[in-house]
Amino acid sequence: MTKVPYKDVITEAGALVTTYEDIRAGFVSLALEKNRQATPFVEEARSLKARASSAKSPNHLLKDPQILAALLTAAGVSDKAACHMLAEDKKEAIRGLIDGFLVPAGDKFVEELIYRFLLTRGDTLGGSMRNIGGVLAERKFSRSILGALRLSKRSYEWLDKRSGSWLPISDNDADIELTLRGISWSANGSKRTLVYNLTIPLIQKNVDISVFNCGRDEFSPEDGQSYLAIGELKGGIDPAGADEHWKTASKALTRVREGFAQENLSPHTFFVAAAIVTSMAQEIWTELEAGTLSNAANLNNTDQVASLCRWLIDL
């Protein structure tokens, strides 16, 4: 069995605990990402204000077909909801906005329109931000895997989630983690493939990271024997939710081990998280020492993540 190198960087449970400095930095990163993702909405609102300002009254807004979609948004209808509405329903919603809020606002109707437009867009942004911690964690982990592969001079291909195509390594791989869903490389004369967010038919559940002992054209989620390692990656940085994330991940990995054991299979299991508090660190350490978990790392600790990534690409 491949030697588990976690003791090179984790000598006791306390080494896994997220520091106050890392928690603070994590919240800052989330705030910056939220602002970045809000930028298109702000620019859209500015364009709407410039266009709506030429209208003499709220009812004149209806004469500009190019802002009807924005009026619907300001009426509180999301893009997703609008897809399920008839034209008559959309007109009724816009009329309710105009009669109920824009007309009473008097000569401030444009400002009222922009406020209500941004209110709905804010809800949209809030929904997309609920899992932003997981998205940022995936990007960070991907970058670490790519760094380990480059350092060991191994070629790789990566799966672009937008096109669904596997693309070859290039001299400039900056920002590919933004759209990366998988990586394929060679180790010890054998091919390996890592894919994010796959449902494993054997347990009928989704897992965060699956590593297969075959090439990118050969792996099959249905083939239990092709799984080399399975991991859970939790990017939430709030310590208040850390224990709950660990319980969810621990149950998922237990389900993996039990499901594969029924087929006399035992893929490696590992856990990586941004927020690890003392109580869960002790539980993780106990599982590592017992061999229940094959490896673990605090996502904020570069040495731990680098060690885990080296272990993965060498399996």
89-116 pLDDT, tens digit per residue, is 999 999 999 999 999 999 999 999 999 9
**pTM of the predicted model as reported, rounded to 2 decimal places:** 0.81
**Lookup: tokens for 132:** 């932003």
**Strand, coil or helix: 252:** helix
The mean-pLDDT minimum among 161-170, 245-254, 287-296 falls in: 161-170
**Residue 73 in this model has a pLDDT that exceeds 70:** yes
* CATH number, domain 34-129: 1.10.238.90
Confidence grade of residue 14 (pLDDT, cut at 50, 70, 90): very high
CB-CB contact of 10 with 289 (8 Å): no
67/183 Cα distance (integer angstroms): 43
| Dihedral of the alpha carbons of 297, 302, 305, 306, in degrees to the nearest 10 | -150
Phi, psi of 189 (to 5 degrees): 80, 0
- The reply to whether CATH 3.40.50.150 applies to domain 131-314 is no
pLDDT at 160: 93
Mean pLDDT, rounded, of the chain = 91
Mean pLDDT of 113-139: 83
Cα angle 204, 261, 215 (rounded to 5 degrees) comes to 70
CB-CB contact of 82 with 93 (8 Å): no
**Lookup: tokens for 185:** 């490389």
Cα angle 80, 83, 89 (rounded to 5 degrees) comes to 115
Mean pLDDT of 51-72: 93
Condensed to tens digits (0 to 9), the pLDDT of residues 177-208 reads 989 999 999 877 889 999 999 999 999 999 99
Query: Pick from 308, 314, 313, 315: which is nearest to 5 by CA?
Result: 308
**Residue 3 in this model has a pLDDT that exceeds 60:** no
56/75 Cα distance (integer angstroms): 20
The residues spanned by each domain of the chain are: 34-129, 131-314
**Residue 1 in this model has a pLDDT that exceeds 50:** no
CB-CB contact of 18 with 133 (8 Å): no
Residue pointed to by tokens 């970045």:
36
Condensed to tens digits (0 to 9), the pLDDT of residues 258-311 reads 999 999 999 999 999 999 999 999 999 999 999 999 999 999 999 999 999 999
Number of H helices, E strands in the chain: 9, 8
